[in-house]
Structure 1
Amino acid sequence: MKVAILTFEGYNELDSFVALGLLNRLKPSGWEVRLCCPQAEVTSMNGVTLHAQAPLEYANSADVVLFGSGIFTRDIARSPDILGRLQLDPARQLIGAQCSGTLLLAKLQLIPSLTGCTDTTTRPWVEEAGIAVLEKPLHIDGNVATAGGCLASQYLAAWAMLRMAGLEAATQALHYVAPVGEKQQYTQRVLDVVMKEAGL
């Protein structure tokens, strides 16, 4: 299972690293999770520089593609040089985005229902792109999911695990990272949100 977490200049650490940490709980099951960037290094909104684990094009052959957000997403959305490197297809891939990453999905015309979730700051730009924004943390439409709020990355990761590895694997991964003393409640709450949205 190949997973691409798209991480751009000015990225939000919570989007990329929470998903990376959660999804790599399935590494023993053969999951290969990579932070994919348009250049060799990118620096976060808080000054954390990371070395790309794979180029952006890795996403084109991945089973799961997750778009993180960041402070320069509007510039990226106007960059055909960057977006042109992505050839994604929801018919063969799970594709998710959170916060301003939803704007990139909109620009790539990958939101089938023209309805999705994003953060408060990005909402006007996503609506300008023709997407009706919902006031909730997660929206799933087939193989495409959008999320709103930095910590909503847990929902995107849980959705990917649930769809591609099943309920038991998703439950175990979430239970491992959950706060001590709250493991059962935390795990069940995350799964309840995802399963309700997925119609499960």
Structure 2
Amino acid sequence: MLGRIRGILVEKAPGQALVECAGLGYEVDIPFTTFFHLPETGQEVTLHTHFAVREDAHSLYGFASRLDRDLFRLLIKVNGVGPKLAVGILSGLDAEQFIRCVEARDANALVKLPGVGKKTAERLLIEMTDRIGQLEGQFVPTSQDATGSGMAGQKLPMRGQDPRDEAEAALIALGYKPQEAAKAISKVAEDGMSSEALIRLALRNMIPA
């Protein structure tokens, strides 16, 4: 299994990164929480990965921290939670925030995530309560862990667009309805803001920590 990849970040967009390693370019699906930790293109990046094989596709998922990757592996074992939904969950909440939600039995925070209804939130709280104990004792990396310096499966046309359009497209790809995405971006948008800043603030307002 491919557990980690280190190479040069060639391209990045919310939902995906292209990493060149030993002359090969690996398309890696990433949650937004990992995207925010990525270095600038052309720099070295290290991602903890999970390789998923299906009859119709081989997918590589990447995460800024081992904790996020290991939580992803636990999430996809939950009944009704596939890789796409697990990436969506980790786009709105990083591993620490998700663990706090489970410990606090906070279903309200979970249902604000796209694709997570009340029943799914309740199932997550029930099944993950016993499983998060497997994550205890892990070191929680800082943003530097994704730099090498100490929406899954969707390719987004992020560069060259208006930052607001880019941010809305990213939220829609994550699973939010177009009206929700437009409203969230309009609430936080100010002149000169990058798409990354818009996405971060919009998610923070939609899913309070």
Q: Same fold (TM over 0.5)?
A: no
The structure number with the bigger radius of gyration is 2
Tell me the TM-score normalised to structure 1 length: 0.33
Tell me the TM-score normalised to structure 2 length: 0.32
